[in-house]
A = this chain, B = another copy of it.
Amino acid sequence: MEHISPWGLGPLASSTTLGQEIHALAERLFPICRSITGDGVRQTLDILSGHIDLERHEVPTGTQVFDWTVPKEWDIRSASITGPDGQTVLDFADSNLHIVNYSLPFKGTLPLSELRSHIHTLPEQPQVIPYRTCYYAPTWGFCADYDRVAKMPDGLYRVEIDAELKDGSLTYGEYLHRGQTEREFLLSAHICHPSLANDNCSGLALLATLARSLEARKTRYSYRFLFAPGTIGALAWLSRNQDRTHLIDHGLVLSCVGDAGRPAYKRSRRGDAFIDRAMAHVLGRETGAKLMDFSPYGYDERQYCSPGFDLPVGMFQRSVHGTFPEYHTSADNLDFIGPEHLADSFRILMDVIEIVEEDWTPLNLFPKGEPQLGTRGLYAALGGQKSSGATSMALLWVLNLADGRHSLLAMAERSGLPFRELAAAAGLLLDHGLLADAAP
């Protein structure tokens, strides 16, 4: 099935192919041990640069970023626990979730009783490894499946963490698709999570693919793609771009966009921004989709929607973070995300971009009564049928609401018709000289 973009330059790849491409990219990103700093982020940006012409930024350790300071860079080479019998109990080489992200280097021998306070498990999900971080706390720890830890015999354990916290930098990547205007649509995904497929290899791969697919298109808006570590990365970008944030008309944070859950949207802090209305319109036509009011817990919309910025940035995902058992565990692996879901998320973003690009405010040039559609071939010439087709309804709605106070999205909201149908009707009426652009 071809998805023909109604506003762009031609057919996209089939959605099947597209979903597979996004999944394949997520697969390449999955094994890397990322954190909020370090070479894992750089390797990730290297891979993404194979798809789009990324601009890379390095923000040195110690840089003040609003209330925060860019931390020392964390690099980890190996980490393991060896049991009393000399067997390796836990090894970072098996899963980069085994190490608490940002653990200090450590070498030592501990009795099990003392070691236990350094090992995080999920007793309710005894077979998965949790994901933990200690970015701003000087400590170390391991994560493991509860069953494995439960079986560890008493005795002395050898712990070795070959990690390094050193002056370095925080890295983020940025790609700008320039449109006809400087007004921007910001799309942002966090790049700091290690091997968690949905959260957020899915978001990174989806955004990169979306960026690439926009490359050849002429757009009205400029599209800024940001791949940055959560919180501190978004803050670093905001800090360096304070004079540009007024250009942002629309924004989305993406995360967890590859699982089988139905699409979900969390409104911006404003609640009635254009992006909120456009997402509501698109998701209003998706069975089981969820619309949620803003709350200050989640991903980097927390920063974009802080009161000093209050940007029109919402958050798009599928299963809502924190509500699915795989969240922040080793069960969030490549099997948890599917090409069909990634393709579906892509389609939804394209639908929203279509509204952002194609919305305009028509003015009816024949506002007194209805203009005669029949003689213009715009209306079935033979009247009296029981039901008028949807296209006729779209023509009538556009004409009726084209008073210069309703954009196409407002017409979609009032009529309950799909934006696309109204946009097609408005285009037809414009071609026939019945409409003008109210704000040319």
Contacts and interface: CB of A to CB of B under 8 A. Distances in A.
B374 A137 contact: yes
A117 to B, nearest CB: 12
A388 interface: yes
A384 B328 contact: yes
A145 to B, nearest CB: 16
Interface stretch (A45-53, A170-178, A349-357, A395-403): A395-403
Interface residues of A, number: 64
Given A307-B401, A308-B369, A381 B328 contact: no
A195 to B, nearest CB: 14
A303 interface: yes
Contacts of A371: 66-67
Interface stretch (A86-94, A220-228, A360-368): A360-368
Given A306-B369, A308-B368, A132 B384 contact: yes
A386 B322 contact: yes
Please give the count of copies of this chain that the complex contains.
3
A269 interface: yes
A131 interface: yes
Interface string A363-399: 0101111111011000001111111100011001101
A101 B383 CA distance: 10
A43 interface: no
Interface in A393-430: 393, 396-397, 399-403, 415
Interface string A160-192: 000000000000000000000000000000000
A9 to B, nearest CB: 34
A119 to B, nearest CB: 13
Interface stretch (A16-24, A151-159, A205-213, A294-302): A294-302
A239 B399 CA distance: 18
Contacts of A296: 370, 393, 396-397, 399-400
Contacts of A364: 306-308
A327 interface: yes
Contact of A231 (B303, B309, B370, B403): B370
Given A374-B136, A397-B296, A368 B269 contact: no
Contacts of A370: 67, 231, 296, 302-303, 306
A239 B366 CA distance: 13
A150 to B, nearest CB: 20
Contacts of A396: 296-297, 302
A403 B136 contact: no
Interface string A136-149: 11010000000000
A382 B132 contact: yes
Contact of A235 (B65, B101, B369, B397): B369
25 contacts: A65-B369, A67-B369, A68-B369, A100-B382, A101-B384, A131-B384, A132-B382, A132-B383, A133-B382, A133-B383, A133-B384, A137-B374, A137-B382, A235-B369, A242-B368, A295-B415, A303-B370, A306-B369, A307-B367, A307-B402, A308-B368, A309-B368, A310-B403, A327-B386, A328-B386
